[in-house]
Each structure stands twice: as C-alpha cells, then as structure tokens.
Chains A and B, each alone.
Chain A
Amino acid sequence: MQGKGGYRRVVVTGLGLVTALGSGVERVWKDLLAGRDATGDLSRFPAEAYRIRRACEVAARARSGILVETIAAEAAEEALAQSGVDPEAAPERFGLILGTLGSAGLAEYERQARAAGRAGMDAAWARSLMPGTLAARLAVRFGCEGSVATVLAACASGNHAIALARRRIRSGEADTMLAGGADVLTQTQYTHFHNLRSLSPGFCRPFDRHRRGLVIGEGAAFLVLEEERRARARGAELLARVLGAGSSSDAHHMTAPDPTGAGAGRALSEALRDAQLDAGQVQYVSAHGTGTPHNDRMEGALLGRTFGPRLATSSIKSMIGHCMGAASAIEAVVCVLSLRDQCVPPTIHFEEPDPECPVDCVPNCARELPVKVAVNNAFGFGGNNSSVVLGAHA
C-alpha cells in the first residue's frame, strides 16, 4: 500500500514494555490507567551524599548480566511475540534501531568500580561501554541482518529511533523494523541531573504550578513496525499507523530549552505536515512533560498555541519517571494503547494549574476518550526535539 509520493505505509504490529511499574505491556498499561506511581527511594547505588534520593527503578533481575540488555531483550521479545512476524524468512529485510543515552555497560562499570575501589579500563569494558554494542547484541539475538543502528539524541532518542525505522520501511530498504529505546539508572547520569538541579525532591508533577523537577526512571520499550501491505497479507493485527515524524534542534543551550518553543514547534509542525494532518485532527498528546519549570512552561505554551487549551495532554513521567533514551519509546507505546483502547492515562500529582501551562493535562484520573490521532512529543537536552504522529489503523 502506498501513501502519497509513492512511499509505503508503516504500521505497528507489536509492542513491548519494561518500566518501574513492571514488565509487560498489559500490566504496565493497567497500572498507568490506575494512576499508580512507581517513585521510590534511590537504591541502585550509595545515595547518602545526594540531597535528593528519589527514582523509579525497575525490579531487580534474577540473572546477572548487563541490566539494560536484559530489559531491552525482554521488551523486544514481547513485541516480536505479539507481532507474530517471522524475521527468519528475510533477515536482510529486518532491522533494528535503538534510541539511548548510552547507559549500556555504564551501570555495571560503576558497580565494579565501587566494589574494587578503582575505575580501571580494559578492552572488554571499552566494548561494553560503546553505545552501539547493545544494538549489536540485540541484532545477533533476534537475527536482524538489515539496518542496525543506535541513535543518540538525548531524551528524544526513542522518537528518533521510531522515525528512522519508519523511513527505512517507507523507502523500501526494510520490511520490518524493531524500533525502541532502553536506558537504566547510572550514578553518572543521576549526578548529572542532580548537580544541574533538575530533580524534584518529592514527586514529578508535570504542568503543576508547584512542580520542582523530574524524577529519573529507567526502562525499555520496543515497537514492531512493518510495511502495511505485508502485515495485512500475513493476517497481522494492526495496532496503529505511524503517520508522521518531525525533528529539529533548538540551537540554543546545552541543557535549557529555547523558552520561545520555536524549535519544538518546528518539530511538531513538521510531524503534522508529514502526516498530512492539521492540529484540529489530533485528539491526544503524550507530552514530554518532565515536571521541570522550563520544559513544562515551554511545552505548555506551545501546546496551548497549537492545539488550544482543551486538548487532552498527559505525561506518564509523573508515574514512571523520566526514562531518558527510552522515555519517548515508552510513551509511543502508550499512544498506541490509547488508540487501541480509546482512553488516555492521567498526569498524577496534579493539584494546582499553572497559568503559564494552558493544557488539559488529564489530572489524576484516566479518561475514556475517542482517539484517532495521537502525537508523542520528546524535547531533549541540547535542544533535541522530535515529534511522532500515530493514528488508528482503520
């Protein structure tokens, strides 16, 4: 099936999730709709020296090994199992694109350094710390012989991975792509956000007048993207369509977003243009919604200008924290579920509206809502912006 310009249409046929709320799409979705909060005390590394000690940590795994690889593989396996696609039929047409901040191996390196009292380096550690190694290991595990790439675009990495995977299919380079993100909590990243004073001392409260910052999380999510005609021919269940994607750079500051929202607005406009939709055709936005004063003010103003104050816009970071490179991939999965079940998750811990954030953030309770088009926003450090538009398959 071809869309305008001769490009092939791209559908979602499988989803996989691991978050601090648990493993498995249906379990996590149920908890998100229930407004359950995964925030707890930081336990992954010694935390006495930190002013703020809060995080959303995934449950410990029984087997040893690199945690981010374990959870990424779990999420990918779930997505492939749901999809039912058989990549062995044409492995050279099956690829994988992973979005990440590069935590692979770093958590384990930190742990061994703390245990040994010194942080040495050898070839094995260097290989483990190379950001692309995780995708390579996943590719071997799942037999991906097409395009296999790791994209690092700060907190927008997951959306970038989805957009790149979609482009591979649309251009005819691939028929099936695993696209997603994975990151785990590291002392390095935690200290980075902590020393920039970006962390909330309590909960993450996106768009609330008294919000004070983000809560770091961790997790993994994958979507199976396929060329629509092939997916239909093999009888796959079509969960959603990836209608459009747009990305931009603020070119403004290494950590603070452009307060005017111009860069984020360009990504959003480009995504809608690519989807051949206008703002009035969108029913739900999964916000970047980190709970920081700067991001939420910028994003709230942008969404208010673009969609008006009554569009349902929630941030699941209020429940699972900011999962860094995995965040927008997890949120894309949530958009697909919203399309499937015609309901949207809440933004919890919301008590008082901020006049500078004129959005309907679905405060505290999930909401049944007819959703045909959802937008997933991701606005990362360094001014990396990406928006993806997902739509119902019918």
Chain B
Amino acid sequence: MREAAITGWAAGGGSLACRGPAEGWLSPEAVDEFAQRHRKALRYLNHGSVLTAALVESVLARRWPSAEARPGSVALLVGSAFGNQGETVRYFRSIHASGPADVAPMMSYDVAVNSFTSFCSIFFGCKGPVQLFSSGAVSGLEALAGGVSLLDAGAVEAVLVAGVDCESDLVTAYGLPGEAFSPAAEAGAVLLLERPSSGAPLGGRVLSAATCFAVSDGGRSATLSRLTRGLLQGRQTPRGAVYTGPRAVPARPPALAEAGAPAWLEIPARPGAALLGAAGPLGCIVVLERLRTPGRGGVGLVVSEDPLGWVGGAVLGAAE
C-alpha cells in the first residue's frame, strides 16, 4: 500500500459537537448557509448531497481558491452505509400512497442511492471516477483505502474521500436502542488526498489503509487485530488511536492494546451517536489534529468495525 498526502479536510453534521470556527469544522448553521447560497441548484436535493457538497466546497476552496486552478482529473469516493436509500424509500412511499403518475417529477432526479456522488461530481466538475461504497460503519475507511489505491494507480491527480450518513427513518430504525448502533446519526467528513510528490501544503499523510471482513462475530476481534498488525508493520508505535464500533466499548479492543497505542481519542460527537459512514474519515481528522500539535508528530491509528463483519483501519502520519 502506497502513501497519500492529505492536503485538506472538513467535517460537519448535526451529530457533531460544534467546534466553533475551527478550520475545517462546519457547524449546522454553516451547512444551512451553503444550502441557502446555492438554493437554486439544491432546491430538490436530498440532505446527504447538500452536506457532502458543503464539506467538499470547504475543502476545495481552501486548497484551490479558484476553480480554474483545480486539476482536471479529481475523483470523488464517498463511504456511506445507507447512501440516499432513505430518499429511495420515501419515493416508494409516494408511489404507494398516490400511485406512480402522481409522484412529483423532480423526485425522480433524487432517487438514486448514489446521488451524493453524482450531484457533487456535476456541481464541482469532478471528472475522475466517482463511487459510493456501502460497508456499514467501515464505509468511510473503504472509500479512503480506495482513494489511496486510485492515486497509486496514477489514474487521477487528486481524490476527495468522504464519509457521510444522514438522518432518515432507515438510519433511525437501524439505531434503535438495543440494536447495533444507538442512535445512528448524521455526520460527514471529507479528506483531500494528493500524491506525496504534488508539492501541496500537507495536513498529514495516509501511510496505509485497508479493510477486510470477519465471517463470524467471534472472529471479528481477531480479524481486527490481524488487520492492525498489517497496517502497522514496520512502523513506530502510534501516539494515539481512534476506534469506532458497535455500542459503547468500555475497554480498548485488543487490537489497540496490541498496537501499544497509549491514548484512545474521542470523536467529538453527541453522546451515544454512532457515525456510520463518517466514522473513519472523522477519526482520521481527529488523529491528524493531534499529530499537528507542536512537539507531537509521529503516527496515529484509526480502526473501525461493523456488526455485519467489516473491519477497517488506517495509519496516519504527521506532515513532514
């Protein structure tokens, strides 16, 4: 697995504790302001696409203040457990209630489960590959691993990697008390990746990223340990780690203890929120912020797991 340079990031969404005007953190009011500014284009659009677009705009504007300066080939990879499936179900309910002929025509443009990526590619002129990945709470890390791989293959000059999930009755039902996540909530995070040789100002580096799958509940912990060992092979002990997974975990997973990660960093989310697709990229941002603290440096670890079997991880390095 090759490296990628992280040259920008942004995070936001209703379930995140507001970080004030801190760079890269968008409050719900800032997302609303974006929607209002572009209300003509966003008029019929689902909230997931709006949130993704607000975050992407924040990243692109700081990296390339003018659209003309952007590379011709930018890819967009989004990790989202549910994508736009909430709107798809809403569309069906309209059909069910009033019949197909009476469904509002503009709803037809908003039905695709992958509309976050399609809309953003059009809105921002991203002409590289666009893909949406659904792997539960590991969706965002799946997108990250895919983005690093795409850069390494030389197919594009930059990759926007996003993790987004928004409120819908699917997400709420998935997060019912007693179920795997309680409650699942809305959040988004975007990382901008470029090749290390791009010369762009660095926010950090992705040193390795990968996902895999545990076919049994009982094997997931061992699978996560194996994945983490592989990601950290040959690297220094992480200064800290972010873990996201099902339910509140009172103790560190064995993988973090084995890695010797001395700290367990928290994502600034509202109590009880499990962040699904956004979890991995948000974890990366939290680690990078810590690594940027003067006198810190080193590497940090993000690991994530999902009750359906996915596990994922990433090792991040400070900007050099």
By a beta-carbon cutoff of 8 Å, the part of chain A in contact with chain B is 49-50, 91-92, 95, 101-102, 106, 109-110, 113-114, 119, 121-123, 125-127, 129-133, 135-136, 139-140, 143-154, 160, 164, 167, 171, 173, 186-189, 191-192, 194-196, 246-255, 263, 266, 270, 381-384, 386
0 or 1 for each of B265-308: is its CB under 8 Å from A? (1 = yes):
00000000000000000000000000000000000000000001
State how many angstroms separate the Cβ of A359 from the closest Cβ of chain B: 25
User: CB-nearest residue of chain A relative to B91?
Assistant: A188
- Cα-based distance from A246 to B129 in the complex (angstroms): 8
11 residue pairs bridging A and B, Cβ less than 8 Å apart:
A101-B114, A110-B92, A121-B89, A122-B176, A136-B213, A143-B215, A145-B223, A160-B129, A191-B103, A191-B108, A247-B155
- Cα-based distance from A136 to B142 in the complex (angstroms): 14
Q: Which 9 A-B residue pairings sit nearest by Cβ, starting from the closest?
A: A382-B118, A132-B134, A102-B113, A131-B134, A148-B213, A126-B174, A247-B129, A126-B173, A152-B114
0 or 1 for each of B107-136: is its CB under 8 Å from A? (1 = yes):
011011111011101101111111111111
* CB of B309 closer than 8 Å to a CB of A: yes
Q: Which of A50, A136, A196 interacts with B310 by CB under 8 Å?
A: A136
- Cα-based distance from A382 to B308 in the complex (angstroms): 29
* CB of B221 closer than 8 Å to a CB of A: no
User: CB-nearest residue of chain A relative to B72?
Assistant: A266
Q: List residues of chain B with CB within 8 A of the CB of A386.
A: 129
List B residues 53-86 near A (Cβ within 8 Å).
76, 81-83, 85
- Cα-based distance from A246 to B154 in the complex (angstroms): 11
Q: List residues of chain B with CB within 8 A of the CB of A196.
A: 108
Q: Are A132 and B81 in contact (CB under 8 A)?
A: yes
Q: Are A109 and B1 in contact (CB under 8 A)?
A: no
State how many angstroms separate the Cβ of A275 from the closest Cβ of chain B: 13
Q: List residues of chain B with CB within 8 A of the CB of A106.
A: 88-89, 92
Q: List residues of chain A with CB within 8 A of the CB of B199.
A: none
Q: Are A102 and B210 in contact (CB under 8 A)?
A: no
Q: Are B308 and A136 in contact (CB under 8 A)?
A: yes
Question: Given A101-B112, A146-B213, A160 and B89 touching (CB < 8 A)?
Answer: no
Q: Are B128 and A132 in contact (CB under 8 A)?
A: no
- Cα-based distance from A180 to B169 in the complex (angstroms): 30
- Cα-based distance from A304 to B81 in the complex (angstroms): 40
Q: A126-B174, A136-B309, A154-B114 are in contact. List 15 more A-B contacts (CB 8 A).
A: A49-B100, A50-B100, A102-B88, A130-B170, A131-B113, A145-B213, A147-B145, A151-B132, A154-B112, A191-B103, A247-B129, A248-B127, A254-B112, A255-B109, A384-B130
State how many angstroms separate the Cβ of B105 from the closest Cβ of chain A: 6
- Cα-based distance from A253 to B112 in the complex (angstroms): 13
Majority DSSP secondary structure for residues of A touching B? mixed
* CB of B167 closer than 8 Å to a CB of A: no
Q: Are A192 and B131 in contact (CB under 8 A)?
A: no
Q: Which of B91, B96, B170 interacts with A121 by CB under 8 Å?
A: B170
* CB of B152 closer than 8 Å to a CB of A: yes
Question: Given A121-B169, A249-B130, A384 and B88 touching (CB < 8 A)?
Answer: no
- Cα-based distance from A250 to B217 in the complex (angstroms): 41
- Cα-based distance from A123 to B184 in the complex (angstroms): 11
User: CB-nearest residue of chain A relative to B113?
Assistant: A102
Q: List residues of chain A with CB within 8 A of the CB of B146.
A: 149, 164
Q: Are B121 and A383 in contact (CB under 8 A)?
A: yes
User: CB-nearest residue of chain B relative to A131?
Assistant: B134
State how many angstroms separate the Cβ of A112 from the closest Cβ of chain B: 11
* CB of B16 closer than 8 Å to a CB of A: no
Q: Are B135 and A150 in contact (CB under 8 A)?
A: yes
By a beta-carbon cutoff of 8 Å, the part of chain B in contact with chain A is 1, 76, 81-83, 85, 88-89, 91-93, 95-96, 99-101, 103, 105, 108-109, 111-115, 117-119, 121-122, 124-136, 139, 142, 145-146, 149, 152-153, 155, 169-174, 176, 179, 210-216, 223, 226, 308-310
- Cα-based distance from A125 to B179 in the complex (angstroms): 13
Q: Are A148 and B309 in contact (CB under 8 A)?
A: yes
Q: Which of A131, A135, A147 interacts with B85 by CB under 8 Å?
A: A131
Q: List residues of chain B with CB within 8 A of the CB of A119.
A: 89, 92-93, 96
Q: Are B134 and A191 in contact (CB under 8 A)?
A: no
Q: Are B170 and A148 in contact (CB under 8 A)?
A: no
Q: List residues of chain B with CB within 8 A of the CB of A164.
A: 146
- Cα-based distance from A144 to B128 in the complex (angstroms): 29
Q: Which of B101, B122, B145, B310 interacts with A383 by CB under 8 Å?
A: B122
Q: List residues of chain A with CB within 8 A of the CB of B170.
A: 121, 125-126, 129-130
Q: Are B88 and A171 in contact (CB under 8 A)?
A: no
Q: Are B215 and A140 in contact (CB under 8 A)?
A: yes
Question: Given A146-B213, A249-B129, A382-B121, A192 and B111 touching (CB < 8 A)?
Answer: yes
Question: Given A125-B173, A146-B212, A92 and B226 touching (CB < 8 A)?
Answer: yes
Q: List residues of chain A with CB within 8 A of the CB of B176.
A: 122-123
User: CB-nearest residue of chain A relative to B145?
Assistant: A147
Q: Are A160 and B131 in contact (CB under 8 A)?
A: yes
Question: Given A119-B93, A381-B118, A382-B112, A148 and B310 touching (CB < 8 A)?
Answer: yes
- Cα-based distance from A135 to B213 in the complex (angstroms): 11
Question: Given A152-B83, A266-B127, A109 and B134 touching (CB < 8 A)?
Answer: no
Q: Are A145 and B135 in contact (CB under 8 A)?
A: no
- Cα-based distance from A148 to B306 in the complex (angstroms): 12
- Cα-based distance from A173 to B155 in the complex (angstroms): 19
Q: List residues of chain A with CB within 8 A of the CB of B83.
A: 102, 131, 152
Q: Which of A123, A148, A167, A248 interacts with B173 by CB under 8 Å?
A: A123
State how many angstroms separate the Cβ of A148 from the closest Cβ of chain B: 4
Q: List residues of chain B with CB within 8 A of the CB of A126.
A: 170-171, 173-174
Question: Given A153-B132, A254-B118, A188 and B92 touching (CB < 8 A)?
Answer: yes
Q: Are B155 and A148 in contact (CB under 8 A)?
A: no
User: CB-nearest residue of chain B relative to A119?
Assistant: B93
Q: Are B128 and A140 in contact (CB under 8 A)?
A: no
Q: Are B152 and A171 in contact (CB under 8 A)?
A: yes
Q: Are A249 and B126 in contact (CB under 8 A)?
A: yes
Question: Given A153-B130, A381-B112, A139 and B136 touching (CB < 8 A)?
Answer: no
User: CB-nearest residue of chain B relative to A136?
Assistant: B308
- Cα-based distance from A194 to B103 in the complex (angstroms): 11
- Cα-based distance from A130 to B180 in the complex (angstroms): 14
Q: Are A382 and B152 in contact (CB under 8 A)?
A: no
Q: List residues of chain B with CB within 8 A of the CB of A95.
A: 212-213
